[in-house]
Amino acid sequence: MSTSKTIKSALISVFSKDGLEPIVRKLHEQNVTFYSTGGTEDFIKNLGIPVVPVEDVTSYPSILGGRVKTLHPKIFGGILNRQDHEGDVQQMEEYQIPQIDLVIVDLYPFEKTVASGASEADIIEKIDIGGISLIRAAAKNFKDTVIVASVDQYADFLEVITKQNGALTLEDRKLFATKAFHVSSHYDTAIFNYFNTDDTVYKASVAEGQILRYGENPHQKGFFFGDFDAMFKKLHGKELSYNNLLDVDAAVNLILEFKNDDPTFAILKHNNACGLATRSTMRAAYLDALAGDPTSAFGGVLIANGKIDTETAKEINQLFCEVVIAPGYDETAIEILSEKKNRIILVQNDIELPQKQVRTCLNGLLVQDKDNVTDNKEHLKTVTTTPPSSGETEDLLFASKICKNTKSNTIVLAKNKQLIASGTGQTSRVDALKQAIEKANSFNFDLKGAVMASDAFFPFPDCVEIAHNAGITAVIQPGGSIKDELSINYCNENKVAMVFTGTRHFKH
């Protein structure tokens, strides 16, 4: 028994008519009867193609300003009837319900209306009722009905009916039904999130996913769900990998801390900054960022808070790096950076990032507010008799921004707005500090006059003692330990400045 069904009748009610004309003309060639309403009905008529108004089927006009048009038993009966069910067949004849083999819908643009900043009244009017009901009905009855639920599916549908002369297999119909439920669930999620004020309820839907070469490792499948093109314009290079995307995410969040600062350049590896500097020119910022750890910079992700000029590009081109990100480039800079075939060059667009962070955990999800606190002078409380100098204060805030965006436990050492070294992802804060000092010494940095940032408080004075002995003269930390006085007393005795921010910046 054949599972193919040939379309003989179609109900079309769409918001977007882009790409609809060739479908209507092809169906007309295949002797399909059209039913429609409102603007779509006029569209079909203007093509010189016969169309039956829905009102002629229902014997009921469009009412309530067009809010109620297709919501009628004769329409939904035509869509939902089971053609192999004796009772359904009898009732179709009894109530003179026309068979509808195909439904084409494109919903009101709810998300675009919200994004446009429209009034609540305009947004409410863009909640589609008839369209979403038609989609669900036709998708449910995919055994007998074809559903095309979005303008994004017009091209695929046209290809199928052209190749198969208006006949769709059961597999075809089920695939279109699956896409339809994706459209309807995404639409409803967007509406729910517009109304929802309860943080204990979480719903998310991403319309399209991108297949990655693989996941974190080659034996793992990987996908990215998001609008990458809204965030970046890709100018050159290979496709981004799962790990590239994680590093790019870390880079974007880090450089956001320095968005309005002087030229700042950062180099990241495995989600952590291995080099970062703020200078009067981008070239100088890059060179001093690279000096922070030229070994780790190999194969890293580079990001700037301003335009990359030709001179900076020449310096970057000497380094093997995976990704370069900036809000803009000189034309010559692009040419230079493009000399490496696989190097990914991204222009970062200025868009609002999500304010919720989500990650899988056990058999569920963890959701939290994004850490939007950037420590500034107003947050600082000097807790020692020796206050930090103005230069030390600038370095402390500089180090704090990096520390906030580095894996815990972390210690960041900085001097003259340059990342000297950091200890990252350690199980002990003392180990993190020792790692940072050892790394700084290995690259011949003079720690005398450097500052230290910690992502959490010191429960004992051991860290400030080790830091002081290494030459560090100022410390920034959140404070809050019941033994804060031990660290404060050590700093007072040794003329080390220490400030509290009152805000912890763990990053796990």
Long-range contacts of 239-245 (CB under 8 A, 24+ apart): 239/212, 239/213, 240/212, 240/323, 240/344, 241/212, 241/213, 241/214, 242/212, 242/213, 242/214, 242/215, 242/216, 243/216, 244/301, 244/322, 244/323, 244/344, 245/212
State how beta strands 451-454 and 411-414 pair: antiparallel
Question: 10 Å Cβ neighbour count for 26?
Answer: 16
The first and second tokens of residue 34, run together, are 């059209």
Question: Active site residue: 17, 26, 140, 434, which one?
Answer: 140
User: In degrees rounded to 5, what are phi and psi of residue 500?
Assistant: -105, 145
503 in Cβ contact with 479 (< 8 Å): no
270 is catalytic: yes
Question: Active site residue: 270, 314, 379, 434, which one?
Answer: 270
State how beta strands 497-500 and 411-414 pair: unpaired
User: In degrees rounded to 5, what are phi and psi of residue 7?
Assistant: -70, 125
331 dihedral zone (left: phi>0; alpha: psi -120 to 50; beta): alpha
Spell out where 243-318 has E strands: 264-269, 272-278, 300-304
Compute the distance between CA of residue 230 and CA of residue 351 in angstroms, rounded to an integer.
8
For residues 364-395, one letter each, b for 16 or more C-beta atoms within 10 angstroms of the residue's C-beta and e for the rest, the string is eeeeeeeeeebbeeebbeebbeeebeeebbbb
CA distances from 357 to 81, 186, 260, 367, 369 (A): 45, 19, 24, 6, 6
Q: What positions carry a catalytic annotation?
A: 140, 270
